Amino acid sequence: MVGTLGSPRAGRIDATSRAPFGWTPLVVLFIVGLVDRIEANLLSGVLPHIIREWGISDVAAGAIPTAAAIAGAVVAIPAGYLADRHSRTRIIAIVVFVWAIATAGSGLATGFAVFFAMRVLLAAAENIDNPASGSLLADWYPPATRAKAYGLTRVTTYLGGVGTMIGGVLAAQLGWRQAFLIMVIPGVLTALLVWMLREPRRGELDRLVASSGRPGTPETTDAEPGATATVHAEPVPEAAPDTVPVHGKVPFGTQFRQVVRIPTLIIVCVGLGLLTLGLAGVFYWMTTLMVRSFGVDTDTAGSLSGLITVAGTLTGTLIGSWLGRKWHGTRKGGRLLAGGGGITLGSVILAVALSMDTLAGLTVLTLLASTSMSIAIPNMTASLADVVPASARGLGFAVLQLLITAGGAFGSLIVGIVSESTGSLRTGMYSLIPVMVVGGLVTLVARTWFERDAQKVLDAARTA
C-alpha cells in the first residue's frame, strides 16, 4: 500500500501556510498517541484487580512501570538513530502493530511473570516511535504552528486517564483481561492508518521558511526578494532509504555530540524528566488512593482519575497553546516561561490536593493542578523542535524520550516503597512533590539560551 496521506496541498509546499501538508498527518499522529496512552494506562485502572488476583505487594506493583520505563530508556537512543536514517512513517506503523501484540499478551498472561514481560515489551515498543513522530511533525508544520502540532500530539502523553477510566470500567464489568484484549482492535487499525502516511523530505520546510524573512511567523511574512516561499515538491517514496539527505551519512558519534551540546535541549529535557518522575508516581497510584482512602469502587475511582487527567490536560493544552502563540517572540523564551511557570504552580496545587480529606476536594484541586502543569505540553516540545536542526531531530527527541523515560522509571516504585515503609500511600505520593517543583524551576532556566539556539537552526537552514 503506497502512502498517500499527508501529501503537499495542490502538489506543492507553501511555506507561508500554517499547514502546508494539511492537518491529516496531525490527526493521524494524535490517534497514534491516544491509542498508545490508552494501552499503556489500562494497567492503572485494573491494578487493584491484578493485585488481588496474584496477591502481589505494592512494591511489586510499583516495579511494573519501573522495569517498563528502563526498557524504554534502553531503546530511546537507537530509536533516534533509526528515525534520522530510515522512513519514519514505516517505523511508527510497525511499532504500533507491536503494541497490539503486547497488549494481547497482557490479557492472555497466565501468571504475573508473563504479564510483567508483556508490559516491558509494550513500553520498549512505545519508545521507539517517539523520535520518529517528533521529527515528522517539524517537517510537516512550520514554527508558527508547531506549538499547536506538538501540543495536540504530546497531549496524548497525559491523556492516560482515558486508559485508566476504560480499564477501571471494563475490569469491573467484564474482567481485567478483557480490558486488554479489546484494545488490540484499535491498535491494529491505527497501524494500517499510519502505513498510508507519506514521508516528507527532511528539512525542506525549514529551508523554505527560513528564506521567507521572518520564519517565526510565516503566515504574516513578506518574502525577501529572491526568496522561495512556494515550490513544487517531487513525490517521495515512502520506504526508500535514499530519501534521507546527506546528513544521514554523518557519523552517529558526531551527530550525538552536536545534539547534547545544545543547552536548551538538555536543560528542558532534565526539567521534564523530573516532572515525569513525579507525575508517573502520583497518577499511577491515584485510582488506588481513591479506593483505599475513600472506599469507592474501582470503576468509580478509575473514572474520576481518568476525568481529572483528560479534562485537566485538554484545558491546560488549550491554554498553553494560546500562551505559547502570544508569548513566543514577545517575551524572552516565552514558551518556556509559560511551560515552566505552569509546572511549578501545578506542583504546589497538587501538594494541597493530596492533603484533602474529602474525595470532592481531592478531585477539584487535582484537576486544577493537572490543568496548570499541562500548559507545558504544547510549549516544551515545540521549543525543542526549534533548537534542534532537521538532520538530527530524531536524535534530539530521542534524548528527550530517554530522560523523561528515565525520570518516569522510578516514580511508581518510589511511591510503593515509601507507602510500604510508612504505611501511608499519601506519604509516598508526597515524597515526589518537591521533585516536580524543581522540574518546573529548571525548565525556566532554559530561557537563557533558547533564542540563541533557535537562531542557529534558522541560520543553518537558510544557508543549506
Q: How far is CA 172 from CA 53, 169, 175, 302, 303, in A?
A: 13, 5, 6, 10, 11
Structurally, how many domains does the chain consist of? 1
Say whether pLDDT at 232 is over 60: no
Strands 230-232 and 12-14: antiparallel
Domain membership of residue 201 (yes or no) is yes
For 295-432, where are the alpha helices, taking DSSP H only? 298-327, 334-353, 359-373, 377-387, 393-409, 411-422, 425-430
CB 99 within 8 A of CB 454: no
Residue 249 sits at the vertex; the CA angle it makes with 248 and 251, to the nearest 5 degrees, is 105
The C-alpha atoms of residue 371 and residue 431 are separated, in whole angstroms, by: 21
User: Poorest-confidence range of 140-149, 235-244, 444-453?
Assistant: 235-244
Domain membership of residue 54 (yes or no) is yes
Domain membership of residue 224 (yes or no) is no
Question: For 142-192, how does the pLDDT look when each residue is reduced to its tens digit (9 = 90+)?
Answer: 877 777 788 778 777 666 667 777 888 888 888 888 888 988 898 899 999
Domain membership of residue 228 (yes or no) is no
Question: For 322-367, how does the pLDDT look when each residue is reduced to its tens digit (9 = 90+)?
Answer: 888 788 778 888 889 999 999 999 999 999 999 999 999 999 999 9
The C-alpha atoms of residue 99 and residue 192 are separated, in whole angstroms, by: 13
Domain membership of residue 64 (yes or no) is yes
Domain membership of residue 12 (yes or no) is no
pLDDT for 243 equals: 36
Domain that holds residue 299: 20-219+237-463
Q: Please name the helix (run of DSSP H) or strand (run of DSSP E) that holds residue 391, with its range, or none.
A: none
Question: For 391-448, how does the pLDDT look when each residue is reduced to its tens digit (9 = 90+)?
Answer: 888 888 888 878 877 777 788 888 989 998 998 999 999 999 999 999 999 999 888 8
pLDDT for 212 equals: 63
Confidence of residue 222 (pLDDT cuts 50, 70, 90): very low
Domain membership of residue 178 (yes or no) is yes
Residue type, 334: G
Domain membership of residue 125 (yes or no) is yes
Q: What CATH number has the domain bearing residue 209? A: 1.20.1250.20
* Cut 0.75: pTM above it: no
Q: What is the mean pLDDT of residues 80-92?
A: 89
pLDDT for 175 equals: 83
Q: What is the mean pLDDT of residues 217-242?
A: 38
